Structure 1
Amino acid sequence: MTESTIKTWQNFYPEGVKHTLSYPSATIQALLEHKLLQNPKTKMLNFLGLTVDLLDLERLSTSFATSLNELRLKKGERVLLSMPNSPQFAISLFGILKAGGIPVCIDFLGTADAFEKAIKETEPYIAILCSDLTEEKDLYSAFEAAISKIGKESVAHIITTSLFEILPPIQQVLSGSTFKIKSNRRKETLSWSKLVFEAPNEEKNVESSESDIALIQYKSDNKGVVLTHKNLIGNATQFSSWFALTQSEVILATIPFTSTRGLIPTLLASLVSGAQLSVLPLFLAQEVAKTIEKDSVSFLPVTPKMLDLLALNEETKKRNLSSLKTCVCITGEVPPTIKTNFENTLKESSGSTVKIIECYGLIEACAFTHANSPKAQKTGSIGLPLPDTEVAVLDPDSFRPLDANKEGILAVKGPQVMAGYFNQPGNQPFNSEGWLITTIGVYFDQEGYFYLLGSLEESIVVNGKRIWAHEIEKVLNSHPAVKECSVTILQREKQLKANVVIKPGEKVSVQELVNYCKTKLTPEKIPKQIEIVRELKF
């Protein structure tokens, strides 16, 4: 990207946001201690009526760190951490870091194979999990199946918690009923509560620096992404600065903390900015609507699916959600119909206007590399590069930098870019100059706004031209009768297949959709198969 383009897109930055930021030179646990000194009674998070302030978080995480050290956890040893959003997650995360350990985060709904790979690669000394039963799953079962296959001695100590055990008894019953979660105590494991509430509150300072590993995040492709304190605090600072988060903000956390896309815009952004945090263990649209009203939530990180479920839920239509000012879509573009439906629902129910701002990033870059400016959004764009984020679009074959409006793959450099993949010395996606070379197809316009095309795996070359699935999705999503769609590549046949969901009350035939595509796309880009479905499978 040229200097002139950089100067152009800086003109669209949010008011007060500079191209270069000042970052805290600290570890995550040191940042917590620093915030504590400023105001120990600052409210950190609210969990189903339970308030945890900075002093609580500091004291309880210190007690947990003491217990981990008594279990002989050594500096640099890995600790598997997998549970829904809760105070236990936050206390465990800070406790592990204080004790000198490295959290290894994996989706609590992950498969036994995913747990097995993470355990084999990282060799965690301790595992901390939730053992509850949801309607769909025993949250402990995948881990249990993995260690049964590897060998139970593969993890020295297993600690389990029940999500609602820290709540008053009546609230435990009510929350269990609301979220359809049952406690399922595993007596063969160590009790999280005992290790926290019965441990001495003795500060045992394990030295660490901002360049130390703070987290290993396992992705859906089962690669472990190594992130330092500097990476995580850097991306949280970029995010907080971009959206001007302050102590007056109330952020609702429903996206799992076990993903950095859930952790950074909520827990870590709250730590950096001082914003208050409201936490739900699972996404239930009716509970999200109730919580927005009850806690006066102003800032909501979401996915398009979450927005759709909220717009359709009756509770959303009954509640006063006027406190909600900003919804940040963490996965890029929101289909126009879903965006419009949600905006209209809030206008009709609360008489309020909400900004839906699209962001984008990779786990390899913590969470976020791009975001639309609240003052200058562009439809269909993932936005501008965040402060201190260098970006380039490269030819996927020659890796030559490309100019505006040329399709290629994204390359990124910045404070949020990972240290590398864990334990994969021959499989690191960096060039000799330290740029992260991705397989994500993008292009940028003359003003520096980026547009997502999909991954190389979601593209095919026909007659010497590369065709990206996401481009076809955008065209189909623009049809007046289409709610959302998904386009997949049939690599063997070199063909495109589209699954399309139609808006309620609308009627459209497959042939009409084909004809619409013909008006927007060249012949080779028109899907050979279009199927109308009730809902998309994610």
Structure 2
Amino acid sequence: MDVENIIGVEGKHLGEVKIEEINRVWLKHYDEWVRPSLEYPEIPLFRLLEDTARTKPENTAIVFFGKEIAYRELDALSNRLANYLKSLGIKKGDGVILAMPNIPQYVVSYYAVLKAGGIVVQANPIYTEREFKHIASNSEARVAIILDQIFDNVYPLKRDGLVDHIILAKVEDYLPFPLSFLYRFKKKKVKVPAETGIHEWKAALASEELKERPEVNPKEDIAVHQYTGGTTGFPKAAMLTHYNLVANVYQTIEWIPGKGEGDVFLGALPYFHVFGMTTSMNAPVAVGAPMILVPDPRDIKRVIQAIDKYRVSIFCGVPTLFNAILNYPDLKKYDLSSLKACISGAAPLPVELKRSFEKETGSKLIEGYGLSETSPVTHGNPFYGLNKEGSIGIPFPDTYALVIDEEGKVLPVGEIGELAIYGPQVMKGYYKMEEETRKTLVSGWLLTGDMAKMDEDGYFYIVDRKKDVIIAGGYNIYPREVEEVLYEHPAVLEAAVVGVPDKYRGETVKAFIVLRPEHRDKVTEKDIEQFCRQKLAAYKVPRIIEFVDELPKSAVGKVLRRVLRDQEVKKMEQS
């Protein structure tokens, strides 16, 4: 076949491309067990749990610091909470904010919200009051289920009428004795007012089990609002349907050696992150596998101990996590030989890290790719087939990927353009953002905003990002949001935020600031950092702050972030 016309639709506009015309050259590189096309059941997402609870009731679902919960019990707990949510007025289509680390209550709440007919509104528990208010207002959520330790940041939502109810989950509720007893003395004391609308987890779980189920149209009804970045400086909600999420679970399982049967999954990736939600929670639920929950993925000793003790075989993570394990001083004391399949996503995987991790553990570590808008996984390198280092791999079953130019025309092999994706996992759109949806979804194709190229084997490479998103430690950070906070400081005249290379986090946040004349020599980098910490989650706070006389700008006055980034890269190369 002519390399210039290898996929058969080169030169066509995206809107003219018919799926059946695309030559999926990548299929020849699938691992032998992976089918190019699957049948996806049109079922509500909560059926994954119900079906497993029916067929494998005694299988262990959750392991949390030694406490085990079987699938039968997990299903029953979610039924009770679903009934309680109904009693609080939750009806079909209502949003419920979940803001917890990976604790049993998160998994119970996730499926309970869906069984009550609600929409799971994902929130990072380290959000500030300002960030929680934006998500509550945008999603129109009426209930928040949160870790009690973050009550101070969430209570203003109820005080100001943004939500009607808050349910408090406590870590010690599912810790085995004596850990549960000891934890009460260790935890931060939180003052919770005794008022209507604030509920204890144990009281909520005292409810009867919900018997009826909501009527769900899987391809139309939204299961999850997954927040991602936007041009407004605030996150926007990708509307993921029940069908989107069920499909991506089946695609993910198909890709894994053994398809998850008999495996043990590590739940270290936060479940509020779309990558963790699908690959480390919904996928093991679908196959009836244990999830070993790790609330804080930065606790590397706990992560390594969990792999060793529970013989974890499937481990999905971000490059910084794999790197931290590799560099843990006492790594040799632990047995990680149970690891079979490790998938790295959310940030580029350094080639040297991949090689070193595989050599140290004997496992397969592959790089994949996905977005909040695609539920999330779209690409992956084969585990045993051709694995191209530096590549995000090849499209998943029933997933199509093309590279297009600025006019929307399909480019041939080797040329750089914007990556476009089509498949059953592509979102319905952005909630209450029709214009953004129209710009992002074109004839069913998702325009990713990432610049990429494809080689003659159908392997894709991300070469740059069209969007200015910063990916630090697997978290997406949006410069505009950080800049808006900086502009709130009375001493700041102008500000620009970029991502600069960082050996540990992949990228880190750097802020360039022009101070007002009257504040020069009076404001320090520490002052700016402390100001940001009051308004931003810790991972968004600039790690590097540089005061400058002026910012580079275009002829129309637009700040040129790319110039700043390029300057930083040159500095690092010269140092």
Q: Does 1:495 find its partner at 2:508?
A: no
Number of aligned residue pairs:
468
Calculate the TM-score normalised by the size of structure 1.
0.81
Q: Distance in 2 between matches of 1:412 and 1:389?
A: 7
Question: Equivalent residue for 1:414?
Answer: 423
Q: 1:67 to 1:394 in 2, by over 3 A?
A: same
Match of 1:257 in 2: 271
Q: 1:187 to 1:91 in 2, by over 3 A?
A: farther
1:228 aligned onto 2:270 = no
TM-fit CA distance, 1:167: 2.0
Which amino acid in 1 is paired with 2:125? F
For residue 442 of structure 1, report the CA deviation from its aligned partner.
Answer: 0.6
Residues 49 and 19 (structure 1), Cα distance of their counterparts in 2 relative to 1, 3 Å cut:
same
Q: Does 1:141 align with 2:152?
A: yes
Q: Show the 5 A alignment for 1:96-495.
A: 96-132=113-149, 139-145=150-156, 147=157, 152-173=160-181, 181-182=187-188, 184=190, 186-188=192-194, 189-196=198-205, 198-211=206-219, 212-221=221-230, 222-244=235-257, 245-283=259-297, 284-344=299-359, 346=360, 352-375=361-384, 376-395=386-405, 397-428=406-437, 429-458=439-468, 486=507, 492=560, 495=563
Confirm or deny: 8 A CA contact 2:411 2:417 kept in the other structure: yes
- What SS is found at the alignment partner of 2:467? helix
SS, match of residue 67 in structure 1: helix
User: Corresponding residue for 2:7?
Assistant: 2
Kindly state the Cα deviation for residue 430 of structure 1 after the two structures are TM-superposed: 4.1
1:466 counterpart residue number: none
Contact preservation (8 Å) 1:497, 1:529 = no
For 2:192, the aligned partner's letter is R
Confirm or deny: 8 A CA contact 1:327 1:355 kept in the other structure. Answer: yes
Do 2:56 and 2:288's aligned partners in 1 also have CA atoms closer than 8 Å?
no
SS at match of 1:216: strand
Relative distance call for 1:334 and 1:195 in structure 2 (3 A) is same
CA contact (8 A) 2:348 2:506 kept: no
* Mapped partners of 2:509, 2:573: distance in 1: 12
Deviations 1:133-185 (A, max 9, x none): xxxxxx2333235x27xx532211111111222223412256679xx754646
Asked if the contact 2:7–2:25 (Cα under 8 Å) also holds between the matched residues in 1, the reply is no
The two structures have a TM-score, normalised by structure 2, of 0.76
Counterpart contact for 2:143–2:165, Cα < 8 Å: yes
Distance 1:487 1:47, change over 3 A: closer
What is the rounded CA distance, in whole Å, between the counterparts of 2:162 and 2:141 in structure 1?
8
Once structures 1 and 2 are overlaid, which stretch shifts more, 116-125 or 335-344?
335-344
Counterparts of 2:228 and 2:202, CA distance in 1: 29
Q: Secondary structure at the match of 1:57?
A: helix
Q: Give the structure 2 partner of residue 522 of structure 1.
A: none
Judged with a 3 Å threshold, the aligned counterparts in structure 2 of structure 1 residues 433 and 5 are, in CA distance, closer, same or farther, namely: closer
Report the alpha carbon displacement of residue 72 of structure 1 after superposing the two structures with TM: 1.8
- Which residue of 10, 15, 34 corresponds with 2:51? 34
Query: Measured at CA, do residues 59 and 316 of structure 1 come closer, stay the same or move farther in structure 2, by a change above 3 Å?
Result: same
Q: For residue 377 of structure 1, what is the amino acid of its counterpart?
A: N
- Aligned to 2:444, the other structure's residue is in SS state coil
- Provide the rounded CA distance (Å) in 2 between the counterparts of 1:493 and 1:168: 51
Cα distance in 1 between the residues matched to 2:129 and 2:212: 35
The separation in 1 between residues aligned to 2:67 and 2:308, in whole angstroms, is: 17
* Alignment partners' CA distance in 2, 1:239 and 1:233: 10
Matched-pair contact (CA < 8 Å) for 1:358–1:383? yes
Work out the CA distance in 2 between the residues paired with 1:117 and 1:84: 20
CA distance in 1, matches of 2:126, 2:436: 27
Q: What percent identity do the matched residue pairs reach?
A: 29
Q: Give the conservation status (yes or no) of the 8 Å contact 1:105–1:258.
A: yes
Q: Are 1:85 and 1:254, in contact at CA under 8 Å, matched by a contact in 2?
A: yes
From the superposition, tell whether residues 331 and 281 of structure 1 become closer, same or farther in structure 2 (CA, over 3 Å).
Answer: same
Structure 1 distance, partners of 2:183, 2:324, is 21
Cα deviation per residue 1:192-244 (whole Å; 9 max; x = unaligned)?
12101x11224132222312111111125511111011000111110110113
Contact kept, 8 Å, 1:64 with 1:92, in 2: the verdict is yes
Contact 1:488 1:496 in 2 (8 A): no
Contact 1:6 1:448 in 2 (8 A): no
Give unpaired runs (5+ residues) of structure 1: 133-138, 347-351, 460-475, 501-526, 534-538
Alpha-carbon distance change, 322 to 185 in structure 1, aligned in 2, over 3 angstroms: farther
SS in 1 for 2:427: coil
By how many angstroms is 1:293 displaced? 0.7
Separation of aligned partners in 2, 1:160 and 1:487:
33
**Post-superposition shift, 1:414?**
0.7
Distance 1:285 1:36 in 2: 32
Once the two structures are superposed, residues 375-394 of structure 1 have per-residue CA deviations (whole angstroms, 9 ceiling, x without a partner) of 22101000000000111111
1:20 paired residue number:
37
How far off is 1:119 after superposition?
A: 1.1
Deviation digits for residues 287-334 of structure 1, max 9, x if unmatched? 011110110001111111111111111242211111112221022531
What SS class does the counterpart of residue 441 from structure 1 fall into?
strand
- 3-state secondary structure, aligned to 1:454: strand
Farther off after superposition, 305-314 or 182-191: 182-191
The structural deviation recorded for 1:483 is 7.9
Query: Residues 532 and 293 (structure 1 numbering): CA distance in 2 closer, same or farther, change over 3 Å?
Result: farther
SS in structure 2 at match of 1:103: strand
What's the offset of the Cα at 1:363? 0.5
* 1-structure distance, mates of 2:183, 2:305: 13
Hey, what's the Cα distance between the residues in 2 that align with 1:483 and 1:72? 45
Question: How big is the shift at 1:409?
Answer: 0.4
Is the partner of 1:265 in helix, strand or coil?
A: helix
Name the amino acid aligned to 2:26: W
CA shift in 2, pair 1:250/1:402, >3 Å: same
SS in 1 for 2:32: coil
TM-fit CA distance, 1:487: 9.3
- Quick one: higher RCO (CA 8 Å, sep 6+), 1 or 2? 2
Aligned to 1:529: 571
Unaligned stretches of 5+ residues in structure 2:
1-5, 9-20, 470-500, 511-551, 553-558
